[in-house]
Amino acid sequence: MVQLHSAPKLLALCFFLILVNFYIAEAGVRHYKWEVKYDFRSPDCYKKLVITINGKSPGPTIEAQEGDTVIVEVNNSLLTENLAIHWHGIRQIGTPWFDGTEGVSQCPILPGDTFVYQFVVDRPGTYLYHAHYGMQREAGLYGMIRVASKDPEPFSYDFDRSIILNDWYHKSTYEQSAGLSSIPFQWVGEPQSLLIHGKGRFNCSSLTADVCNSTNPQCSPFVQTVVTGKTYRIRVASLSALSALSFQIEGHNMTVVEADGHYVEPFVVKNLYIYSGETYSVLVKANQDPSRNYWITSNVVSRNRTTPPGLAIFNYYPNHPMRSPPTTPPPPPAWDNVESRLIQSLTIKAHPNYTIKPPTTSDRVIVMLNTQNTIDGVRHWSVNNVSFFLPHTPYLVALKENINGVFNQRPPPDGYDFNNYDILSVANNTNATSSNGIYRLQFNTTVDVILQNANTMNKNNSETHPWHLHGHDFWVLGYGKGKFDVNNDPKNYNLVNPISKNTVPVHPFGWTALRFRSDNPGVWAFHCHIESHFYMGMGVVFEEGIDRVGKLPSSIMGCGKTKNLLRP
Ligand code: C2O
Ligand code: CU
């Protein structure tokens, strides 16, 4: 029985328990066991083979607190297919071997094998995970990582929710990749549907019900239920295979507060442009007429869209969650409105209280011209006329263990023919080559990368490419139109409050300037996050501080020339 004089004791006990709790939370371990396999699923009503984690696509959300160790035991039950899972946005400081990038940081996980990823989530924010082997990601293997902050955040909300956006193809990744490397070239085309948190709606009318069934509960729309007057933090992420997207909640403004795990100076949008590999947190207040539901939409931008909008329901409690809004979905921005996308990119700045100042100068500048090329009759994407392909033996093992003959020792160029190359005319770079050569960065230096966009092999066409860097965040110093001017454009860099990100778009016919520190020992991919573009060679690899990398676990070995290391 609690006696009167024991109140202080109770208080002390409570305090002690809170402390214990806090201590446990300080060094938490989050353990997950995943089984990865193929399942028949109908995310947009059309039945196909989908890669699931524990039966789910999108896979389970990883919930952790900053500083926690995440352990994921992955069992590859794909039977005839290799696997690797990348933790997108997690820098893997001290654990470059668990980055999950096949060919770069590890050998693929063989069918039947179990692989244990173990890494620290050192910063709060919204991150992703997805397959990083071939074009496996778009078969459905993806999900979200939410890392809670230990400190108060610079904004408040009542509820914390997530929405992953995606586009969806009916053809298998095998048909797609075979087409991309065929002569003649067979482009993957526009996606059949857009998924909102794993759910979409394809028009089944011309198909039989065993193939496409619009009454299948698997393709009932995603519902976000809200209570009038409450504020929702919605973590919006895109893992689209191809599409740049515009995300909207009918009748509601969104206040952007986080981007790729960094707090931004809040700004309000009606529609959020989001590129594959990006994450944002937006605050949405349920402040509209509560007697009805509203549309949540995603639409393709930057390509002449043929895919119908992705639709979900913003449901005001207590309306029925499945009740369709009485309106037609809000119209998307014009697909070719580059200007409004550029403006949004330029608006994203670091939050004043969380600004990490970039170094004011750099030690090395690499300008990367993005072009389409034909090499030996096959269509490719190239950087400075070099189209990238992965070696069979992972770079990390080859470099750390001094295995020779794994990749081309000649690095790709640091620039292109600035004076003579015309970025506005159809690419005709007959001198393009394929290579698995990499950039070797001096450790602990400041590196600038300028992404330079150009015309594709079609007239008057330049695409949006979301570039993602592994192992780092970079500062986004600027965006511009046309050809980057090495002498003058750097004068206008934002060195005051640039946002830090891990994924950034380069807009059509424009350039984007990034800066990062080569301070994370390891080997890191930097590539276009469009699945088919990376497959066609749109990527590079950076090595930094390889001599500082710790002892490699033997679990990442077993393929190519790493086999020799495993022999006694
Ligand atoms: Cu999210 Cu290398 O990718
Ligand atoms: Cu691309």
Protein residues near ligand 2, an ion, with CB under 5 A: 465, 528, 530, 533, 538
For residue 534, which atom of ligand 1 is closest to its CA? 2
Percent of the chain with pLDDT over 70: 95
pLDDT-based confidence at residue 566 (cuts at 50, 70, 90): confident
Decide if 555 contacts 539 (C-beta within 8 A).
no
pLDDT-based confidence at residue 414 (cuts at 50, 70, 90): very high
* Ligand 1 within 6 A of CB of 96: no
User: Which ligand is nearest to the Cα of residue 466, counting in written order?
Assistant: 2
For residues 255 and 366, membership in a common domain is answered with: no
For residues 327 and 394, membership in a common domain is answered with: no
For residues 374 and 308, membership in a common domain is answered with: no
For residue 101, which atom of ligand 1 is closest to its CA? 2
In this structure, is residue 198 part of a structural domain? yes
User: Which ligand is nearest to the Cα of residue 462, counting in written order?
Assistant: 2
Rounded CA-CA distance 46/193 in Å is 10
Domain boundary among 325, 347, 369: 347
Instruction: Tell me the per-residue pLDDT of 226-248, one tens digit each, with 9 for 90 and over.
Output: 999 999 999 999 999 999 999 99
362 Cα to the center of ligand 2, angstroms: 26
pLDDT-based confidence at residue 26 (cuts at 50, 70, 90): low
Domain boundary among 329, 347, 365: 347
pLDDT-based confidence at residue 14 (cuts at 50, 70, 90): very low
pLDDT-based confidence at residue 12 (cuts at 50, 70, 90): low
Number of domains comprising the chain? 2
For residues 298 and 336, membership in a common domain is answered with: yes
For residues 166 and 229, membership in a common domain is answered with: yes
Give me the domain span that covers residue 143: 29-347
Residue ID of nearest Cα to ligand 1 atom 1? 88
* 403: pLDDT strictly greater than 60: yes
Tokens of 514: 């990034």
489 Cα to the center of ligand 2, angstroms: 23
User: Which ligand is nearest to the Cα of residue 531, counting in written order?
Assistant: 2
Rounded CA-CA distance 407/394 in Å is 9
- Section 278-288 average pLDDT: 98
User: Which ligand is nearest to the Cα of residue 242, counting in written order?
Assistant: 2
Question: Using alpha carbons only, how large is the chain's radius of gyration in Å?
Answer: 24
Cα end-to-end span (Å), the chain: 66
In this structure, is residue 70 part of a structural domain? yes
User: Residue 120 forms beta bridges with which residues?
Assistant: 69
In this structure, is residue 568 part of a structural domain? no
For residues 372 and 520, membership in a common domain is answered with: yes
For residues 386 and 343, membership in a common domain is answered with: no
Mean pLDDT (the chain, rounded) = 95
For residues 338 and 381, membership in a common domain is answered with: no
Domain boundary among 293, 318, 347: 347
* Ligand 1 within 6 A of CB of 525: yes
* 287: pLDDT strictly greater than 80: yes
In this structure, is residue 1 part of a structural domain? no
Q: What pLDDT does residue 427 have?
A: 85
* Ligand 1 within 6 A of CB of 305: no
In this structure, is residue 8 part of a structural domain? no
* Ligand 1 within 6 A of CB of 527: yes
For residues 371 and 335, membership in a common domain is answered with: no
537 Cα to the center of ligand 2, angstroms: 9
Q: What pLDDT does residue 23 have?
A: 47
Rounded CA-CA distance 531/155 in Å is 34
- Section 101-126 average pLDDT: 98
Which pairs with CB-CB distance under 8 Å and at least 24 residues apart come from 561-565? 561/393, 561/398, 561/403, 561/405, 561/406, 562/107, 562/393, 562/394, 562/397, 562/398, 562/401, 562/403, 564/403, 565/397, 565/401, 565/403
Instruction: Tell me the per-residue pLDDT of 522-556, one tens digit each, with 9 for 90 and over.
Output: 999 999 999 999 999 999 999 999 999 999 999 99
In this structure, is residue 109 part of a structural domain? yes
If you search the block for the tokens 């509560």, which residue do you land on?
290
Q: What pLDDT does residue 20 have?
A: 44
- Section 499-511 average pLDDT: 98
For residues 319 and 401, membership in a common domain is answered with: no
Instruction: Tell me the per-residue pLDDT of 295-309, one tens digit each, with 9 for 90 and over.
Output: 999 999 999 999 999
* Ligand 1 within 6 A of CB of 341: no
* 17: pLDDT strictly greater than 50: no
- Section 469-478 average pLDDT: 98
In this structure, is residue 16 part of a structural domain? no
For residue 239, which atom of ligand 1 is closest to its CA? 1
Whole-model pTM: value is 0.94
For residues 296 and 411, membership in a common domain is answered with: no
* 442: pLDDT strictly greater than 80: yes
pLDDT-based confidence at residue 27 (cuts at 50, 70, 90): low
- Section 370-381 average pLDDT: 95
For residues 317 and 375, membership in a common domain is answered with: no
Instruction: Tell me the per-residue pLDDT of 55-82, one tens digit each, with 9 for 90 and over.
Output: 999 999 999 999 999 999 999 999 999 9
CATH number at residue 197: 2.60.40.420
| Contacting residues for 487 by C-beta, under 8 A, at least 6 apart | none
Q: What pLDDT does residue 16 have?
A: 46
* Ligand 1 within 6 A of CB of 130: yes
In this structure, is residue 106 part of a structural domain? yes
